[in-house]
Amino acid sequence: MKSINQREQSIYVALVYRLIVLLLLYTLCRIGFYITNRSLFNHIPFTDLLYIFAGGIKFDIVAILYINSLYIVLQAIPFPFRYRNGYQFFCKWLFIITNSIGFLANFIDFAYYKFTLKHTTASVFSQFSNEQNKLKLLIDFLGDYWYLLILFIIFIYLFIKLYQIIRIQKAPKFTWYVYLAHTLTLVLIAGLCVIGMRGGWRHSTRPITMSNAGDFVKSPGDMSLVLNTPFTIMKTLKANDLKPINYYNQQTLDSLYNPIHQPENKGPFKKLNVVFLIIESLGKEHIGALNKDLLSGTYKGYTPFIDSLVAQSFTSSHTYANGRKSIDALPSIISGIPSIREPFVLSSYSSNKTTSIAKLLGEVGYQTAFFHGAPNGSMGFSAYTNLAGIKKYYGKTEYNNDADFDGIWGIWDEPFMQYMAKTLNTFKQPFFSAFFSVSSHHPFKVPEKYSGKFPKGPLPVQEPIGYTDMAIQKFFATASKMPWYKNTLFVLVADHATVSYLPEYQTTPGYFSIPILFYYPGGDLKGKTDKLIQQADIMPTVLNYLNYNKPYFAFGFDAFSPKNNNFVINNNDGSFSFYQGDYLLINDGQKSTALFNLKTDRLTKNNLINKRPEVQNSMEKYLKAFIQQYNNRMIKDQLTAK
């Protein structure tokens, strides 16, 4: 005989009810987290707090679906044995135990968060793995926070009672059409779960990560209110947490390499507008003007307009990306923070306090904006740019004309760049803006009206690169008629290189070779150097060119500086590629495995490891300095000049 407080419902209604209960309980956990750590969040207005709590639901759904994936499958498989009492008894306690562990993780951070100012991540398992007194630590923790233990017990008691409110109806008669209906329901549930776990349904949506919490806050330190602890643990299970490094004492370390840039008194601040044009998949290989030596001087490339821009710009023979993914590019270009081993915005350090060129220029009166024609939230860019201090975000939503949607990634580059030019014309000078293109991306299409207009080349990406080159040309044609144009410093850079065809680009340095052009139509910033330049150098190069007069943090170098001890760094599958002078050093983090002279051995066929000890030792010295600065500053949250 069923209890008086129970109601019989279908197995699917019961499943939905119990997942909704979990969402409500996770919201209670977020409220509890806020209350117990309120002194850290007193600066947040009530309306912002409501927005943060609403945003947290998205992350709660992800955590709940991952934790309950087995339970959902067991409830949704289209077989009659689901309705047996013993089966449901097992499912009940599977549900209660697994979710109680998730709730426990949240409760632990009620107390633990104030010591770390971060939600617990998977590193907690290694953090305490060598402790010999784990039991004592646990007893001491429970002794100090006994009230949380009591509250947790009450919370779990409430959870169990809420689970038992609904009782599953008896099994229906399983005819063939009932089997079919239940099978289709299983497919529907599976699809909805995948969408929920990814954090969205769009083709361009990456699986949601901790950095996406930046969409809902104004400061990185507030991201913790959006997140929940089960989510942060699951998302960092495979993360490689950095280890403290102590190769050098601080004085020696800073003398070798110091990411704190001290301004030189070179004159008054130049209030130039700054516009970054970040072009999807524009490997250096595709630009004829940067490859005049290829194919015995006959190589033309696929970017005739960018070719013409090269002659009017400052660039280098050796320009590199710091990563191979779009998600690596923005922190490198805008914040001077390259991704090492894993993308910075996906790492457990993504909530560190950082600066950016947008934030620094914003503090001296610049209006700041970011343009990306994809659906808002795509690639996590809106979250990153928000945390980087960029005040205005213009995406597919703001463009508001799906007639120009490419059907997959976003608004075609040509109309969106025209929209950007016209929008910039409404800004008060000086302004900072960054644009990220979408069209030169798989599946490598161009608008139907341009079919056959651009050379296809041996690689599918080269036809849409020709289209984007035309879009850039039309952007400059429009912008050149506007009053702000000649007072603007443009930086054209790729987010990363892509697949290669020519042998010169089927090498480690070739895989990261991209264009980096500095173009100032109102000045004489022209020429070509052999100095190494990387994405992370863009921020310090631009700030120093503007005579920015305050200390700031960036891992890169000033490309215009006469000093020659700069280097380029990227990390491919765990190994460091370290470029300095004419040489490339490959190092796995423990030992060097290859050394190439790129000036005499462009195809990297002659490994000089241990054959040039003076060069190798010098490069290893600087690489160790970089690793020590990078690791220790990430761990200690020291990514600003203050």
- Examine the domain organization and report whether 285 and 199 are in the same domain: no
User: Between the CA of residue 625 and those of 253, 258, 639, what are the distances in Å?
Assistant: 6, 9, 16
Rounded to 5°, angle at Cα 304 from 302 and 310: 110
Do 43 and 119 have their domain in common?
yes
The pLDDT tens digits of the residues spanning 592-612 come to: 989 999 999 999 999 999 999
Tens digit of each residue's pLDDT (9 = 90 or more) over 540-581: 999 999 999 999 999 999 999 998 889 999 987 667 999 999
Strand partners, 314: 518, 527
- Quick one: tokens of 278? 């970040």
Least confident among 94-98, 314-318, 340-344, 488-492: 340-344
Calculate the dihedral angle through the C-alpha atoms of 221, 223, 227, 229, rounding to the nearest 10 degrees: -20
Sheet of 314-316: strand order equals 392-394, 367-372, 431-436, 273-279, 488-494, 516-519, 314-316, 527-529
Coil, strand or helix: which one is 568? strand
Residue 352 located in a structural domain: yes
State the pLDDT confidence band at 2, using cuts at 50, 70 and 90. Answer: very low
Q: CB-side exposure of 249: number of CA atoms within 13 Å? A: 2
Helix residue ranges per DSSP H, 175-271: 176-198, 223-226, 229-235, 250-256
Residue 266 pLDDT: 77
Q: Answer for the pair 159, 96: CB distance below 8 angstroms, yes or no.
A: yes
Cis peptide before 259 (omega within 30 of 0): no
Asked which of 510, 527, 562 is the last residue of a domain, the reply is 562
Would you place residue 137 in the very low, low, confident or very high pLDDT band (cuts 50, 70, 90)? low
Q: CA 52 from chain center: how many Å?
A: 20
What is the domain range of residue 35?
7-235
Backbone angles phi, psi at 384, to 5 degrees: -65, -45
Bridge-based pairing state of the strands 488-494 and 314-316: unpaired
Instruction: Indicate if 90 and 158 belong to the same structural domain.
Output: yes
The more confidently predicted of residues 199 and 280 is 280
Please indicate, yes or no, whether residues 225 and 321 belong to a single structural domain of this protein: no
Cα–Cα dist 159/96, whole Å:
8
Report the half-sphere exposure of 43 (CA within 13 A, side-chain side).
6
Q: pLDDT tens for residues 200-252?
A: 776 656 788 887 888 898 776 788 899 999 998 888 777 667 889 999 999 99
> Where does a domain end: 213, 235, 257?
235
**Residue 634 placed within a domain:** no
Query: Residue 184: how many CB atoms within 10 A of its CB?
Result: 11
Residue 63's identity, in one-letter code, is A
- Of 519, 513, 514, 490, the residue nearest 314 (C-alpha): 519
Residue 223 has a pLDDT of: 85
In 115-223, which ranges are E strands?
Answer: 166-168
- 581 domain residue, yes or no: no
pLDDT attached to residue 439? 94
Q: Are residues 183 and 329 in the same domain?
A: no
Q: Quick one: pLDDT band at residue 142, thresholds 50, 70, 90? A: confident
CB atoms inside a 10 Å sphere around CB 252 = 12
Residue 609 counted as domain residue: no
> Do the strands 273-279 and 488-494 form a parallel or antiparallel pair, or are they unpaired?
parallel
pLDDT in tens, 376-431: 888 788 889 998 999 999 999 999 999 999 988 899 999 999 999 999 999 999 99
pLDDT digits (tens, 9 = 90+) for 604-641: 999 999 999 999 999 999 999 999 999 999 999 999 99
Q: What's the CA gap between 34 and 149, in Å, rounded?
A: 18
Q: 570-591: b or e for each residue (b if 16 or more CB lie within 10 Å)?
A: bbeeebbbbbbbebbbbbeeee
Which residue has tokens 């969106």? 416
pLDDT at 3 over 50: no
Residues 101 and 215 in one domain: yes
Residue 374 is assigned to a structural domain of this protein: yes
Report the pLDDT value the prediction gives residue 1, as an integer from 0 to 100.
38
- Same structural domain for residues 184 and 294? no
- Both 349 and 413 in one domain: the answer is yes
Rounded to an integer, what distance in angstroms lies between the CA atom of residue 323 and that of residue 321?
Answer: 5
Q: How many domains does the chain have?
A: 2
For 529-548, b/e burial (b = at least 16 CB within 10 A) is eebbbbbbbbbbbbbbbbeb
* C-alpha separations of 453 from 395, 427, 450, 458, 465 in Å: 27, 34, 5, 16, 12
- Percentage of the chain beyond pLDDT 70 is 94
Mean pLDDT value of segment 426-446: 94
- What per-residue confidence (pLDDT) applies to 123? 59
- Position 134 scores a pLDDT of 63
Any domain includes 155: yes
DSSP code of 598? T
Least confident of 88-97, 142-151, 468-477: 142-151
Return the closest-CA partner of residue 164 out of 359, 374, 9, 356. Answer: 9
pLDDT score at 213: 87
Same domain, 285 and 348: yes
- Strand intervals (E) in 113-259: 166-168
Q: Is 80 exceeded by the pLDDT of residue 121?
A: no
Whether cis (ω within 30° of 0) applies to the bond prior to 443 is yes
The enclosing domain of 450 has a CATH number of: 3.40.720.10
Kindly report, residue by residue over 497-549, the tens digit of the pLDDT: 988 899 999 888 999 999 999 999 999 899 999 999 999 999 999 999 999 99
Q: Is residue 496 part of a domain?
A: yes
Residue 642: its pLDDT value, please? 78
Instruction: Show the CA angle centred on residue 406, arms to residues 401 and 412, nearest 5°.
Output: 70
Instruction: Count the Cβ atoms, other than its own, within 10 Å of residue 270.
Output: 15
Q: Which of 535, 562, 589 is the last residue of a domain?
A: 562
**Under 8 Å between Cβ of 513 and 506:** no
Task: Examine the domain organization and report whether 195 and 296 are in the same domain.
Answer: no
Tokens representing 516 are 């980096």
**Tokens 């680009």 found at:** 505
What's the confidence (pLDDT) of residue 579?
97
Judgement on whether residues 371 and 472 belong to the same structural domain of the protein: yes
Q: 324-338 burial, b for 16+ CB within 10 Å, e for fewer? A: bebbbbbbbbbbbbb
Rounded Cα–Cα distance for residues 249 and 621 (Å): 13
Q: Are 278 and 437 in contact (CB under 8 A)?
A: yes
**Is residue 574 situated within a structural domain?**
no
Question: Residue 147 to residues 115, 143, 153: CA-CA distances in angstroms?
Answer: 18, 9, 10
Q: Do 91 and 230 sit in the same domain of this protein?
A: yes
Average pLDDT score over the chain: 91
The first and second tokens of residue 149, run together, are 């233990």
